[in-house]
């Protein structure tokens, strides 16, 4: 029993080491976006000095210097590769990260706890892209993200529609018959309500799905499972009991990819505008689109932060602004609105399962 416990401890520590190494490289990549050239010897010397003079009995200077030589060489290699960084909200394993990977496997997903940080870091150039959810087929618009789209100067350069696949995950050593409670984001718990009732499981809200998976793996609470994405099983070494446990199969989240520079290519556009408080102003705008026979794919209104009595309208439509009909239409729309912003042109996404 003791041997097993110690081995479990080591497995746990190895997992932590990998996680921290990954985090270290994520930070190194962020740094490489800040400076033009990879900074030289001084900083590295500083690091070597620090680790050499560590006070841990078992980590002697020559050993740890070897380890860090490897770590730093690889860090430099990564920094010289010009990897594209894409920020997502949540912990590693979040649905947003799954969406980022599905959008482009080559991009490096970097986690952030707030949507605003993603927008800030794209603006500063630390991130090449951000991926943020704008709407969900069950939960509706993600207002915080829509507010940020309205109030920052970033462009939408892509979209991704993902079918959310909720999985029930447990630690490998837990017997499924002993499960009593399930941790997850309240929305995920609500979307799997019937499943939980059928199997007599108590829902316990947690701040997010991947965070719950992370907690389950590290704290191993008794009789507990989590609802999270498939990616979390791999990342946190959990067992998938069942996939697709949501009550409603049409659970689709639409993400947009944001960047500093607009994209020229694409077959779909997003704009946001507001209209003067007069009868028929919104109708007049929609009429312009109708007359030009442009297909609208989404219209959403949100109240504006600085002026709660006024609404901003988000409008998505099929077309490219370089096309003359679309260009002319947008010029007409601009004249009729009190606020107008072109959010970007991008390729329409099919739903990815």
Residues near another protein, by CB under 8 A: 176-177, 195, 198-200, 241-242
The distance of closest approach from Cβ of residue 199 to another protein in the complex, given in angstroms and rounded to an integer, is: 5
Identify which of residues 177 and 350 has a Cβ nearer to another protein in the complex. 177
Identify which of residues 105 and 198 has a Cβ nearer to another protein in the complex. 198
The distance of closest approach from Cβ of residue 229 to another protein in the complex, given in angstroms and rounded to an integer, is: 18
Identify which of residues 46 and 175 has a Cβ nearer to another protein in the complex. 175
Identify which of residues 157 and 182 has a Cβ nearer to another protein in the complex. 182
The active-site residue, picked from 174, 253, 275, 337, is 253
| Phi/psi of residue 104, nearest 5 degrees | -155, 110
The distance of closest approach from Cβ of residue 222 to another protein in the complex, given in angstroms and rounded to an integer, is: 16
The distance of closest approach from Cβ of residue 235 to another protein in the complex, given in angstroms and rounded to an integer, is: 20
Identify which of residues 195 and 236 has a Cβ nearer to another protein in the complex. 195
329 is catalytic: no
48 is catalytic: no
The distance of closest approach from Cβ of residue 242 to another protein in the complex, given in angstroms and rounded to an integer, is: 6
* Residues tagged active-site: 253, 255
């Amino acid at each position: 029993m003791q041997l097993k416990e110690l081995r479990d401890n080591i497995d746990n520590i190895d997992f932590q080491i990998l996680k921290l190494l990954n985090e270290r490289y994520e930070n190194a990549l962020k740094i490489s976006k800040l400076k033009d050239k990879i900074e030289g010897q001084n900083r590295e010397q500083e690091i070597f000095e620090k680790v050499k003079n560590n006070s841990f009995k078992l980590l002697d200077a020559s050993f740890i210097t070897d380890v860090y030589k490897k770590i730093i060489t690889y860090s430099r290699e990564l920094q010289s590769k010009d990897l594209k960084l894409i920020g997502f909200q949540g912990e590693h394993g979040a649905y947003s990260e799954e969406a980022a990977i599905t959008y482009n496997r080559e991009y490096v997903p970097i986690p952030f706890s707030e949507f605003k940080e993603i927008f800030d870091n794209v603006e500063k150039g630390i991130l090449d892209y951000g991926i943020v959810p704008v709407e969900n087929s069950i939960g509706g618009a993600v207002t915080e993200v829509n507010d940020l789209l309205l109030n920052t100067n970033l462009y939408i350069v892509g979209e991704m529609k993902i079918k959310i696949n909720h999985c029930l995950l447990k630690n490998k050593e837990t017997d499924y018959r002993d499960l009593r409670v399930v941790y997850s984001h309240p929305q995920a718990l609500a979307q799997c309500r019937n499943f939980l009732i059928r199997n007599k499981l108590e829902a316990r809200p947690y701040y997010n799905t991947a965070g719950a998976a992370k907690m389950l793996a590290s704290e191993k609470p008794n009789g507990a499972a989590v609802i999270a994405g498939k990616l979390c099983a791999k990342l946190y070494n959990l067992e998938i009991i069942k996939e697709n446990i949501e009550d409603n199969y049409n659970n689709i989240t639409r993400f947009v990819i944001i960047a500093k520079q607009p994209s020229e290519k694409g077959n779909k556009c997003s704009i946001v505008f507001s209209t003067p408080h007069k009868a028929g102003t919104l109708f007049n705008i929609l009429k312009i689109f109708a007359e030009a026979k442009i297909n609208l794919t989404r219209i959403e209104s949100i109240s504006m932060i600085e002026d709660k009595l006024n609404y901003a309208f988000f409008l998505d439509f099929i077309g490219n602004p370089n096309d003359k009909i679309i260009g002319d239409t947008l010029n007409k729309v601009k004249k009729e609105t009190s606020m107008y912003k072109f959010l970007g042109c991008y390729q329409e996404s099919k739903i990815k399962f």
